[in-house]
Amino acid sequence: MTSKPTEEQLKKSLELLGHYRLLFKNHPRKKYFVPLAEIYRSLECFDEAIQVLKEGLKYHPEYIIARALLAQTYFQMGYFAQANHEARKAIESDLENILALKIYIQSCSKLGLTPQSTFLQTPIGAIEDFELKPLTPKNDKKEVIDALNRLLIKIDQNRGQKKGELCQPF
């Protein structure tokens, strides 16, 4: 569960929201939609985030960061089927997108599906247990980078696997 933003954080988010809304309005075909959607998502304005992401993805359908953010937003809203679908699209384009992998696995779990590892042979439990943590003074940056590198090495070792169905019912 996320903590409530402080008044200062909220003020900064609203300033950024105004800035990126203007940029997106004036340049709808540019990639300003991602930071705008992230601000909406961080303010728990999920419907607005999804609307902005869908609009931006019309012009940039292969923008994996946007696709993973859309999956994350759907997941936070409890729309696990949509989250799974978007995460799967992101994974099929970028096997190294850890956010998409995590959302894919978690959404499979919520949907009662077994994550299929035909696209990579990394043990699902190893990815499922991987937790993204912020790089704060409490977390050793080297430790987090080492964990990411170990996961990416496993993924790289399994590139070239035949793409198949990513989920199957139990």
Q: What's residue 12's pLDDT?
A: 86
Q: What percent of the chain has pLDDT over 90?
A: 50
**In sequence order, what are the beta bridge partners of 168?**
114
pLDDT of residue 161: 44
For residue 166, what are its two tokens? 């990513």
The pLDDT assigned to 96 comes to 85
Residue 91 one-letter amino acid: I
pLDDT at 163 over 60: no
- The pLDDT tens digits of the residues spanning 87-137 come to 999 998 888 899 999 999 999 999 998 886 655 544 445 454 555 444 444
Across the strands, what pairs with 66? none
pLDDT in tens, 54-87: 999 999 999 999 999 999 999 999 999 999 999 9
In eight-state DSSP terms, residue 169 is E
Q: What count of other Cβ atoms lies within 10 Å of the Cβ of residue 72?
A: 23
Sign (positive or negative) of CA dihedral 130, 132, 136, 142: positive
Q: For the segment 26-42, what is each residue's pLDDT rounded down to a tens digit?
A: 999 999 999 999 999 98
Against a cut of 0.85, is the pTM above it? no
Question: What whole-number distance in Å separates Cα of residue 163 and Cα of residue 91?
Answer: 11
Q: What pLDDT band is residue 13 in, cutting at 50, 70 and 90?
A: confident
Contact 104, 81 (CB under 8 A): no
Cα gap 153→163, rounded to integer Å: 19
Strands (E), the chain: 113-115, 167-169
